[in-house]
Amino acid sequence: MPAGGDFQAALNAAPLNSVIVLQAGATYSGNFTLPNKTGTGWIYIQSSALSSLPAPGTRISPAQAGLMPKIVSSNTNPALRAASAAHHYRLVGIEITTTWTTRSATLYALINLDSPGGSTSLSQVPSYIVIDRCYIHGTSTGNIRNGVVIDSAYTAVIDSSIAEIHEVNGESHGIRGKNGPGPFKIVNNTIEAAGINLMFTNHDARVIQNLVPSDIEVRGNYLSKSLTWLPGTPAFAGIYWAVKNNLELKNAARVLIDGNLFENTWVGVFEPQDGFCIAFTVRAVHAPWSVVTDVTFTHNIVRQCSAGIQFLGRDYNNRGQGGEQQRLLVQNNLFSDIGAYPMIHNAGQLFLVVDGGIDYIIDHNTAFHIEDPIYAQVHDPTAWPARGFTFTNNIVVNNAGVCGDDTGCNAMLTLRTYFPNAVFERNIIIGGTARNYPPRNFFPASLDAVGFVNRQQANYRLAASSRYKRAGTAGSDPGVDFEALRAALAAMARASFPPK
């Protein structure tokens, strides 16, 4: 397909088991649709310079844009979207962008993998679509609501870069799924968005009944917010984009979040959150069947955020709707500089648990934060207590202590009231007092008293001389297993993510 060729005509004519080669450096302007085809096989849409692009498994960057053809929307419609039930497309080495530079209106999505008008049955859902080594971005000044909408099935976004996704008076998303069943593979991408970098939700009146996005793999990604969006800093570019979380689940099941880097979250100016980097918050807007269940959050780095993870057990805005959040594992993660942007009353909270939940396991994490390690917040008293709460083998800072809305910072009272029968042991609680906590925990007076290998150089392994060496369950070290963390982050190391 030479520069100036009719890309839509090529899409319409191409049978399954064919390749459309777009000219590297050429621009294809318009709003293009992936048609629904009959038969078997795949249609590849790829750059003519594919052999010069990084190999599969290596993340693309804007530096390779010159090796890519460019698909460009010049209005508020997607540059690329899927027809109802479209299937078996793979985009490889394509730049997808817009000329939209204003905030007078909003471009809905750069790529929209949703049936036109929204699917109301599984038969309408686009499926088997792969976005591979693509550069997807808005402009520095334009309202762009979504980078990629994945209301689809059997969909992957891999080795790609998504940037400049932001909106002033609305919630933007780097990747957003709400009306597709999955499975989804989101691996080894850079995802930059002001609102929520990655989100699975249900927030629309036109949805497939009883649908829960499921079987979601989120691995090896770098999810961040640009400091050019942060008011009051030298880098601030002057536009007050609406900022929220780095990752949020409102309706999702069977989710693996492993080996990612989450960085930079603060309180925005639109629908402000409390600056939590991660939000596991079941919500039932338009979807009373919503759940957040069976989530594994392991081997991640969470850093430079106003607060850490928020858990919402039940939806207090839609009482009586939505399931109870359950079976969440938070294990072997490093949290650093939590409270980096202290703009709010609870900046620096590590884990905020709101309105109950079932079977939360928080184990073998190392955290540096400036407020409570755990806070229990009550919106709906009938949703409490949380059941099956486990907090073991963690290294945290006591600060005010384990606190709750009606229990102050009396740790024992908070645990008895909100987390009865909790397993709370083998934790290193820096600056805490033994008489205020359950037995079988440890209370060094200071960070240096923990016995890290080299805290000043951010080596948070326990030294052989540490009195807490092998003090965890089954002779393990409390805190992060850094060899396992390093192995999980290996893909990002190859992608040269920003070191700290």
pLDDT over threshold 90, residue 275: no
Q: Within 10 Å of residue 381's Cβ, how many Cβ atoms?
A: 10
The answer on 332 and 401 residing in a single domain is yes
Q: Is the pLDDT of residue 274 over 80?
A: no
What whole-number percentage of the chain has pLDDT above 70?
Answer: 96
Q: With bands split at pLDDT 50, 70 and 90, how would you rate the model's confidence at 320?
A: confident
- pLDDT tens for residues 23-52? 999 999 999 999 999 999 999 999 999 999
- Does one domain contain both 304 and 373? yes
Q: What is the mean pLDDT of residues 297-302?
A: 98
User: How many Cα atoms sit within 13 Å of 323 on the Cβ side?
Assistant: 17
* Exposure on the CB side of residue 413, measured as CA atoms within 13 A: 9
Question: Does one domain contain both 41 and 108?
Answer: yes
Q: Is the residue at 298 inside a domain?
A: yes
Whose CA is closest to 384, among 311, 455, 458? 311
What pLDDT is recorded for position 347?
A: 79
List the structure tokens of 244: 């929220």
Whether 337 and 368 have beta carbons less than 8 Å apart is answered as yes
Assess contact for 387 and 422: CB atoms under 8 A: no
Asked if 479 and 349 sit in the same domain, the reply is yes
Predicted pLDDT at 272: 59
Among the candidates 165, 181, 201, a domain finishes at: 165
* Listed range (79-83, 243-247, 314-318) with the worst mean pLDDT: 314-318
Percent of the chain residues topping a pLDDT of 90: 88
* Residue 499 banded pLDDT, cuts 50, 70, 90: very low
Indicate the average pLDDT of the chain. 94
Same domain, 128 and 251: no
> Residue 65 pLDDT more than 80?
yes
259 within a domain of the structure (yes/no): yes
Per-residue model confidence as pLDDT tens digits over 168-207: 989 999 999 999 999 999 999 999 999 999 999 987 777 8
Which residues fall within 8 angstroms of residue 467, CB to CB, at 6 or more apart?
A: 451
176 in a structural domain = no
Alpha carbons 186 and 203: distance in angstroms, whole number: 21
Residue (of 471, 461, 394) closest to 432 by Cα position: 394
Q: Which residue in the block uniquely carries the two structure tokens 């928080």?
A: 362
| Same domain for 236 and 103 | no
In this structure, the answer to whether residues 125 and 232 fall within a common structural domain is no
Domain that includes residue 69, residue range: 1-165
Q: Among 165, 193, 220, which residue terminates a domain?
A: 165
**pLDDT at residue 68 tops 60:** yes
Give the per-residue pLDDT at 498. Answer: 38
* Res. 497 pLDDT band, cuts 50 70 90: very low
Q: Same domain for 234 and 98?
A: no
φ, ψ of residue 358 in degrees (nearest 5)? -130, 130
The CB-side HSE value for 70 (13 A sphere, CA atoms) comes to 17
Nearest to 73 by CA among 11, 18, 28: 28
Average the pLDDT over 258-266 and give the result. 95
Domain presence at residue 460: yes
Looking at the domain assignment, is residue 200 inside a domain?
no
Residue 388 lies in a domain: yes
Residues 375-393 have a mean pLDDT of 97
Q: Same domain, yes or no, for 138 and 241?
A: no
| Whether pLDDT at 494 is above 70 | no
Which residues, 6 or more positions from 487, have their beta carbon under 8 angstroms from its beta carbon? 299
Yes or no: say if 308 and 353 are a contact pair by the CB < 8 Å rule: no
Predicted confidence (pLDDT) per residue in 323-339, tens digit: 999 999 999 999 999 99
Asked whether residue 248 falls in the same domain as residue 101, the answer is no
How many Cα neighbours within 13 Å face the side chain of 332? Answer: 18
Dump pLDDT digits (tens) for 442-464: 999 999 999 999 999 999 999 99
For residues 444 and 151, what is the distance between their CA atoms, to the nearest angstrom? 49
For residue 376, pLDDT over 90 is answered with: yes
Tokens 């790609």: give the residue: 160
- Same-domain pairing of 145 and 275: no
Identify the CA nearest to 498 among candidates 232, 237, 190, 259.
190
pLDDT digits (tens, 9 = 90+) for 80-134: 999 999 999 999 999 999 999 999 999 999 999 999 989 999 999 999 999 999 9
Q: Once rounded to an integer, what is the mean pLDDT over residues 344-365?
A: 91
Up-side HSE of residue 420: CA atoms within 13 Å toward CB?
3
The answer to whether residue 178 sits within a structural domain is no
Which among 165, 195, 224 is the end of a domain?
Answer: 165
pLDDT band of residue 500 (cuts 50, 70, 90) is very low
Asked whether residue 308 is domain-assigned, the answer is yes
Least confident of 329-333, 343-347, 388-392: 343-347
Q: Which residues of 429-454 are buried (b: 16+ CB within 10 A; e: fewer)?
A: bbebeeebbeeebbbbeeeeebbbee
- 137 and 252 fall within a common domain: no
Listed in sequence order, the residues at least 6 apart from 208 whose beta carbon sits closer than 8 Å to its beta carbon are 119, 120, 121, 122, 125, 179, 181
Beta pairing class for 459-462 and 452-454: antiparallel
Count up the domains in the chain and report the number.
2
Residue 386 has which token pair? 């949380």
